[in-house]
Amino acid sequence: MKHSLRTKLSLTIALIMLLTVASISFLSNILIEKEFTNYLTIQQEKRTQEITDSLSRQYDLNTKTWDADFVHTIGMYALYDGYIVKVYDLQNQTIWDAETCDMSLCTQVMDDISHRMDTKYPQMNGEFMSKTISIMKDGEVIGTAHISYFGPYFLSADDFQFLYALNTILIGIGLFSLIFSVIVGTILAKRLSSPILNTVTVTKQISDGDYDVRIAEGSNTRELNELIVAVNHLADSLGKQESLRKQLTSDVAHELRTPLTSIGTHIEAMIEGIWEPTNERLQSCHDEILRIGKIIQDLENLAKVESDNLKLDKTQINPTELSEKAVGNFGVDINKKMLNVLISGDSSAIYADQNRISQVLINLVSNAVKYTPENGTIKIHISEDKQFVQVSVSDNGIGIPKDELQYVFERFYRADKSRNRMTGGSGIGLAIVKSIVTAHGGMVEAESQLNEGSCFTIILPKNKIE
């Protein structure tokens, strides 16, 4: 049977509090009882000494006589406290004897104490014991006192009442703590479970395709707040991915529809005799077919580099040489637009797939050439540290809006929204760049300012041949 998180938290907190209070009460009871019995033993010693001191004051050193009346009073008070006293002089003559004075009372006192202790502390196996103490006055022995009491200690009715009250208080504290812990546990469980339940509700909505839902309430618990932030970020990311997916579908349809429409229109016109099937018109249809083939090839290349089983043929390559070759591929376009291309910096050789990295550099240089105006400047800078090599391709072209910079590596993204085929390709080049660099264990970064230019940097590790 499954229980709610709130129930489990409440029961757990209540159980912990109950065990804690019970343990404290149990240990406190043991420690208090131990200390109390030690206290009683000490008090018993003090009491016998007090009786002896009181008796010594009833002796007159000058007349060598005892005040029998006060000795009787002291003995009776002691008897009521559970001490049976016998007083002897130096000649061992009895001055006062509790049993002789009131035997029945002595018997009753002894029976009451024995019954009380045997009932409450049967494990102690106590019994009445006797102790003989010399009675001293001014440093001189004046007699002896024979004191009998229940040992090793005994508790009076008041003492038992005190212990009962103490145990009652401890039990009351335990019950109060249990009730209090249940209330506090329920409140805490509600506060902890509420954001979790909200998160569960939102995640269910997200799983159903509602990517606009968000968890509005935060939490002062760090872990829960991080969970809320993560779920909101997940919803945001899924929403963006869904938008990109829809955009991808639209872009693929657009990229294929336009050349197909153009081809269909041309062929239909030639079939109906409106146009003559000239070489120029046939060449135009052929160009559109090649454009469709190029789009399909780009998609195939992207699927290949993004596949989990992409195998890299790593060899020792020189980033500077590859950069120079990439620039050489666009010599005609560079000269036509009178662009100034500068290659600076250098690095040691790295281990990577030469064909793949060449494709990355060609794609980056191709974009720079396309989007840089005439007489513009393209800079390629190469640097390295102990672990990585960086290649940056920057230009002073049209740039990318700040709010769109995060999408530049998505499929079919192009900064020129008009989709002018004179400048733009299929929009897959940067997606291929990111996939290849990621497959090498590297990173790619983009910086741009609208109408000022862009800078793309690939960071590749200096891997050894595997």
Decide if pLDDT at 153 tops 60: yes
Q: What local confidence, expressed as pLDDT, does residue 425 receive? A: 54
Query: In the chain, what is the greatest distance between 2 CA atoms, to the nearest angstrom?
Result: 163
State the DSSP code for 90.
T
- Predicted local distance difference test score (pLDDT) of residue 414: 57
CA quadruple 335, 339, 345, 348: dihedral sign: negative
Q: Does pTM surpass 0.75?
A: no
Q: What per-residue confidence (pLDDT) applies to 79? A: 84
* Rounded CA separation 345/382 (Å): 5
- How many CB atoms within 10 Å of residue 86? 20
- 128 in helix, strand or coil? strand
| Mean pLDDT to the nearest integer, 416-440 | 68
Q: 9-13, 56-60, 361-365, 416-420: which has the minimum mean pLDDT?
A: 416-420
Q: Which of 132-136, 232-236, 264-268, 405-409 has the lowest mean pLDDT?
A: 405-409
- For residue 84, count CB atoms less than 10 angstroms from its CB and return exposed for 0-12, middle for 13-18, buried for 19 or more: buried
| Among the listed residues 96, 97, 128, the one whose alpha carbon sits nearest the alpha carbon of residue 112 | 128
pLDDT at 418: 46
* Per-residue DSSP letter, 276: -
DSSP symbol at 123: G
**Which of these, 369, 350, 373, lies nearest to 458 by C-alpha position?**
350
**Amino acid 198: pLDDT:** 81
Give tens-digit pLDDT for 195-222: 777 888 888 888 888 888 888 777 777 7
Res. 389: pLDDT tops 90: yes
Q: Check pLDDT > 90 for residue 378.
A: yes
Residue 465's pLDDT band, with cuts at 50, 70 and 90, is very low
What is residue 383's predicted lDDT score, i.e. its pLDDT?
93
Give 375's pLDDT tier (boundaries 50, 70, 90).
Answer: very high
pLDDT for 413 beyond 70: no
Please, where are the H alpha helices in 144-278? 157-207, 222-271
Of the two residues 280 and 6, the one the predictor is more confident about is 280
Q: In degrees rounded to 5, what are phi and psi of residue 76?
A: -70, -40
Give the number of other Cβ atoms within 10 Å of residue 6's Cβ.
Answer: 19
Tell me phi and psi for residue 2, to 5 degrees. Answer: -95, 140
Contact 90, 137 (CB under 8 A): no
Cβ-Cβ contacts under 8 Å for 134 (sequence gap 6 or more)? 141, 143, 144, 145
**Residue 423: pLDDT above 70?**
no
Is residue 462 pLDDT above 80, yes or no?
yes
Instruction: Please name the residue ranges forming H helices in 274-392.
Output: 279-306, 319-328, 331-336, 354-371
pLDDT higher at 41 or 437: 437
| CATH number listed for the domain at residues 5-170 | 3.30.450
Average pLDDT of 339-357? 91
pLDDT given for residue 376 in this prediction: 92
Three-state secondary-structure class, residue 113: helix
Among the CATH numbers 3.40.50.300, 3.10.129.10, 2.70.98.60, 3.30.565.10, which is that of 311-461? 3.30.565.10
Q: Is 133:145 a contact under the CB 8 Å cutoff?
A: yes
Q: What's the confidence (pLDDT) of residue 426?
A: 57
Residue 380: its pLDDT value, please? 94
Angstrom distance (rounded) from CA 217 to CA 224: 11
Mean pLDDT for the chain?
A: 82
CA 258 – CA 281 distance, rounded (Å): 16
Q: Is it the case that residue 160 has pLDDT exceeding 60? A: yes
Half-sphere exposure of 283 (CA within 13 A, CB side): 3
Between 111 and 383, whose confidence is greater? Answer: 383
Radius of gyration of the chain (CA): 50
Residue 456 in tokens = 């793309």
**Domain extents in the chain:** 5-170, 209-309, 311-461
Does the domain made of 209-309 have the CATH classification 3.40.50.300? Answer: no
| pLDDT, tens only, 89-131 | 888 888 888 888 888 888 888 888 787 777 777 777 777 888 8
Helix (H) or strand (E) holding 53: helix 5-56
